[in-house]
Structure 1
Amino acid sequence: MQSDEKADCAICAQSSCGVALSDNEIDTIVPELLEWIQDMNWVVSAYMIKVLACHRGVVEKYLPDLLRPEQKDDEWKRNIIAHLLTEWPYYPDDIRTITEIRRIAEHPTDGERNELADEAAKEYLRQHRTQTETKQTQCPGAI
């Protein structure tokens, strides 16, 4: 783990009120936390990216539904791909997530194209490696 990753995970290990949550504890509020990255101009959004990135195993299961074409918040899709997923060193384990990212890159809806979610998906696919190409790193702490 690189020093920046360690620092980011240290942020995850302790919230501002000093309460740490395990993956099991945070699981019930992940959908609400994900809503905070719908708009990256919101002050808390960058912090939420760091928190969510440290709970990859819990967060990942919510992503396929958020990336589907029926989900009309295309800015949110771009933020998930360009900001959250880029915090993880390799592709998500859930094949449905990668399938949706590939769909957005290759066959975007008009909204996904307008919000540049397709460009974020193409860049993500270019930049990231599969799990077999790199070792999995886990955040040592939890919030």
Structure 2
Amino acid sequence: MFNALFLSIGQLFDRRILILLLKVFSLTLLLLALLGTGTYFLLVWIFSFALPENGGLAAAATAVVISLLTAAFLFRVIAIFVLNIFSDDVVDAVETKHYPARAETAKPPSYALGLKMGLRSALRALGYNLLAAPIYIMLR
């Protein structure tokens, strides 16, 4: 197991791994941008009931603040989610280079399974961070 870990660490600068990391980073930023955009439209809708001029500027300012806080706290959780969707690509790259006989017979999991594993990992990471939040606050 440790041998496989060291082989995969040694392969971090492989082209396939770097493309995967770029894809994960880009999709994470895209999801955060979509979350920020959705937050803005939700706030415009909420502020339209309370403010006379649709609350566009107030909604935008509030959405920016919420989006920045969300990005600061949830970036890792969202990245874990996205990475788990494509985790088999890392396995494929390592197997192809170091275990070619096994790579030929390997059957990749579906993206639905990757999505399920990613969601479970993200929820687990979020739960652990929420449990540790009081400790984080005490250490500040």
Q: Determine which structure has more spread, i.e. the larger CA radius of gyration.
A: 2
TM over 0.5: no
TM-score interval (norm. to shorter):
under 0.3
Task: Report the TM-score, using the length of structure 2 for normalisation.
Answer: 0.22
Task: Report the TM-score, using the length of structure 1 for normalisation.
Answer: 0.21
